Structure 1
Amino acid sequence: MMKDILIITNYYPPETGAASNRIFHLAEGLQKNHFNVSILTPLPNYPRGHIFNDYKGKFKYFSIENNIKVHRLWIYASNSKNKIIRLFTMLSYSISLIWFIATNKIPNRVIVQSPPLIVAFTSMLFLRSKGRKLILNVSDLWPLAGYELRALKKNFSYKLLEKIEYYNYKHAHLILGQSEEILSHVQSKLPKKQTFKYRNYPIIETLDNKLEPLPNKKLKIVYAGLLGVAQGIHRLCQELDYSNIEFHIYGDGAERVQIEKFIKTKNELPIYYHGELTRHELHKTIIQYDIAIIPLLNRIYGSVPSKIFEYSKLGLPILYFGGGEGELLIKQNDLGWIADAGNYNELNNVISSIIGTELSKKGAIVQKIANKKFDFNNQLSDLINLI
């Protein structure tokens, strides 16, 4: 018997990035396991900050994609750093959600993505009714992450967001967290709350062969993903020692323009920005590099970058520069190297120590470990038993 389930999320393909990939694979996995899946999401706009061309001028858009019903709702799209504009963006989608909830039949099972905190709060508030099972999927801890990123101060607004966070946790029947730290944080507030660790394990298409290294002696380091403030790629470009390395960048985000300007003014440095690729194209491309770097400008409690699982399944050794639980994963599973978050001298020293390592063998070992330990289907099976 098919079960109906709705997933409410801010991110979904054709948007790129970890959040949209995570929700897509969850939806696809549930659909293949006898669920009628519906998605409620904004018109595509992330990370560009404007509605994608195919959806411009539309107030809403409905489609059936891979047997999944996708409802795309109006949002005031922006990637502005202005807090008022960012708040208005979240509120605009929240208003669209309220309208949809009021005018449509909602299944008895609903998965709500958080953050954004206010969007999750809107969903929990208006969907809380007898008999409905609400599952909160927490991928980052807000407002704590905002404070650690120095985007928020501990003032009245912060305390209000903490109350909203608590409300969301309290009214969820099950909370999914992508890290042990997230689950510990939730249980510190609500010790009896049912939780489940749901990592962002990817489904990777098997590639024929790892490409031969590009023909030069320099260590080729690649970063692929969001070019946001938290990742600090612009700062990384400035701090790397380029004596024996090349740095290749793929992606888009708030720092893209700064990065392009830096490369233009420092054109003597071996930094290459390649733009944004589809996930399939990216996977075929980045396996030609020696190592992948995963940086965070500051250690963020609860954060475990999904790139750890993606790169390791592609057979790319990882250089991790972000601290926290992600660092522990690299150590425990021997997936590569670590440098203390924010310590660029140590980072350059670690890179120097990697030069000369037989990286193809290291990559094969990393991939074997990842395929064994980061299995999407096993994790999904355990989750289905709870919902």
Structure 2
Amino acid sequence: MKILVVCQYYYPEPFRITDICETLVKMGHEVTVLTGLPNYPEGRVLDEYRNGKKRHEVIKGVKIIRSYEIGRGSSKIKLFLNYFSFAISASLKALFMKEKFDVVFVNQLSPVVMSIPAIIYKKKKKKKILLYSLDLWPASLAAGGIKENSISYQFFLKVSRWIYSSPDLILVTSSMFKKYFGSTLGIKTEIIRHLPQYAEDLFTTEFNSISDSKDYKYIFVFAGNIGDMQSVETIVKAANELSDYPDIGFYIIGDGSKLEECKIISKSLGLKNVRYYGRLPLSEMPKYYSMADAMLITLKDNKNLSYTLPGKVQSYMAAGKPIIGAINGETRRVIEESNSGLCCAAEDYKGLANIVIEYCNSSEKENMASNSYDYYIENYSKEKFMSILENTLKSLGGIIDV
């Protein structure tokens, strides 16, 4: 089967779509990715992709076509220029693309307009689209502070309704997405199915801890993007509440728009129990997971964000780690349903400090860890995900196994 994948982000940017595409190739399919220029999360296009370089690549059997885009920068204006520069340039490539594909797969993160090139291709070639929604729009805008009565929000509400009504089938990462699609966007719920994310194989591999992992008796690790939505400052403030506990340390791994702010808060509070490791290659992450007694997850206290289930949840569970969360909604439901950790309300740093202490004193640590892994295997395994994805793509592409 020949598959056209449309996603604004791809390797070397740290998104799971790279592993999905490489796995589809291993399964015997021809995969071409229409994507942008790597600039996430740094905000600046990487030097090796500037000035027209590396517009066509083949990496691990995946053909990659890169479209022009403006780096996302650090301002809202630059971010919107980033969104639309890719949507326009990739749409032009899709319009004049000569190669014929059996089906189009959209891996839709933010922004939703990254889906437009797929719709252009569909209308020209009369092929079906499978859209995998990992971020809700325009809910993501509201979560980012855009008021629902603003011109920007209303514009993207109309655009989102058009985009989400264009695919032939929509897969969603969170069970709560389906309600939003029906009630807010008016999308027919019969074309929406739930398919949660998985974790890459390397997270289920045993690794030795790095040498400084014994500096604290209990180590709590956050791994991922450090942006406005993630509310990592909640962890920093909780660490301040626990600064008199010498056995407890917090390790923050990742990069993003709020990293420097978190470092400034740590410095101003004189914290010695928080360490920042910056952005690391995916291949190094299990080493840092292995030193963690539990993993941390936080999000802003926002109704729209509560619909989401961040992909780090699957990674944490695949590694067999308990999860400590200051979080609401779908993620809290999963943690509590799986008995894999402890939760408090989003942005409640005092509550987070309290459940960290509760975890350290708990006799259920090993049970939480085993529950986490068991829940992953039952609900989020890569094998299950790829089987459902492949069969869905074949169905839409009119491919029948003999």
Evaluate the alpha carbon distance shift between residue 363 and residue 127 of structure 1 in structure 2; reply closer, same or farther with a 3 A threshold. Answer: same
Q: Which letter does structure 2 place at the counterpart of 1:143? A: P
Residues of 1 paired with 2:123 and 2:86: CA distance?
19
**Percent identity (aligned):** 23
Cα deviation, residue 315, structure 1: 1.6
Counterparts of residues 349-368 of structure 1 (less than 5 Å): 349-357=354-362, 359-360=365-366, 362-368=368-374
Residues of 2 paired with 1:208 and 1:370: CA distance?
16
Cα deviation, residue 354, structure 1: 1.1
Q: Which letter does structure 1 place at the counterpart of 2:8? A: N
Residues of 2 paired with 1:79 and 1:152: CA distance?
22
Counterparts of residues 141-180 of structure 1 (less than 5 Å): 141-180=136-175
Provide, for residues 34-69 of structure 1, a one-character-per-residue CA deviation record: whole Å limited to 9, x for no partner.
321111111111000011132222265111111110
Match in the other structure for 2:81? 88
Cα deviation, residue 326, structure 1: 0.8
Evaluate the alpha carbon distance shift between residue 98 and residue 175 of structure 1 in structure 2; reply closer, same or farther with a 3 A threshold. Answer: same
Match in the other structure for 1:134? 129
Residues of 1 paired with 2:139 and 2:249: CA distance?
35
Residues of 2 paired with 1:250 and 1:384: CA distance?
33
Matched, 1:289 2:295: no
Q: Secondary structure at the match of 1:247?
A: strand
| TM-score (ref. length: structure 1) | 0.91
| TM-score (ref. length: structure 2) | 0.87
Question: For 1:278, which of 277, 281, 286 is the aligned residue?
Answer: 281
Cα deviation, residue 129, structure 1: 4.1
Residues of 1 paired with 2:293 and 2:274: CA distance?
15
Q: Secondary structure at the match of 2:287?
A: helix
Provide, for residues 340-369 of structure 1, a one-character-per-residue CA deviation record: whole Å limited to 9, x for no partner.
112222222211211133535642442233
Residues of 2 paired with 1:278 and 1:167: CA distance?
37
Question: For 2:311, which of 281, 306, 311 is the aligned residue?
Answer: 306
Q: What's the RMSD between the two structures over aligned residues?
A: 2.2
Cα deviation, residue 234, structure 1: 2.7
Q: Which letter does structure 2 place at the counterpart of 1:61? A: R
Is contact 1:200-1:306 (8 Å) kept? yes
Residues of 1 paired with 2:324 and 2:275: CA distance?
18
Match in the other structure for 1:225? 224
Evaluate the alpha carbon distance shift between residue 47 and residue 217 of structure 1 in structure 2; reply closer, same or farther with a 3 A threshold. Answer: closer
Question: How many residues are treated as equivalent by the alignment?
Answer: 380
Counterparts of residues 172-191 of structure 1 (less than 5 Å): 172-188=167-183, 189-191=186-188
Residues of 2 paired with 1:125 and 1:265: CA distance?
51
Q: Secondary structure at the match of 1:45?
A: coil
Is contact 1:134-1:172 (8 Å) kept? yes
Residues of 1 paired with 2:31 and 2:121: CA distance?
20
Cα deviation, residue 33, structure 1: 2.6
Residues of 1 paired with 2:86 and 2:346: CA distance?
34
Is contact 2:237-2:349 (8 Å) kept? no
Residues of 1 paired with 2:189 and 2:232: CA distance?
40
Is contact 1:323-1:341 (8 Å) kept? yes
Residues of 2 paired with 1:218 and 1:176: CA distance?
42
Is contact 2:22-2:62 (8 Å) kept? yes
Match in the other structure for 1:51? 45
Q: Secondary structure at the match of 1:292?
A: strand
Matched, 1:374 2:369: no
Match in the other structure for 2:400? none
Match in the other structure for 2:7? 9
Of the structure 1 ranges 305-314 and 292-301, higher mean CA displacement relative to structure 2 is found in 292-301
Q: Secondary structure at the match of 2:179?
A: helix
Residues of 2 paired with 1:258 and 1:227: CA distance?
10
Cα deviation, residue 268, structure 1: 4.1
Evaluate the alpha carbon distance shift between residue 29 and residue 342 of structure 1 in structure 2; reply closer, same or farther with a 3 A threshold. Answer: same
Cα deviation, residue 126, structure 1: 5.3
Provide, for residues 73-121 of structure 1, a one-character-per-residue CA deviation record: whole Å limited to 9, x for no partner.
2111023232x32221112112211221133225241112333122223
Q: Which letter does structure 1 place at the counterpart of 2:192? A: T
Evaluate the alpha carbon distance shift between residue 51 and residue 209 of structure 1 in structure 2; reply closer, same or farther with a 3 A threshold. Answer: closer
Provide, for residues 265-285 of structure 1, a one-character-per-residue CA deviation record: whole Å limited to 9, x for no partner.
334431111111111101112
Matched, 1:319 2:305: no
Q: Which runs of 5+ in 2 are unaligned?
A: 394-402
Is contact 1:293-1:318 (8 Å) kept? yes
Provide, for residues 13-52 of structure 1, a one-character-per-residue CA deviation record: whole Å limited to 9, x for no partner.
1112xxx12x123212322333211111111110000111
Q: Secondary structure at the match of 1:338?
A: strand
Of the structure 1 ranges 29-38 and 288-297, higher mean CA displacement relative to structure 2 is found in 29-38
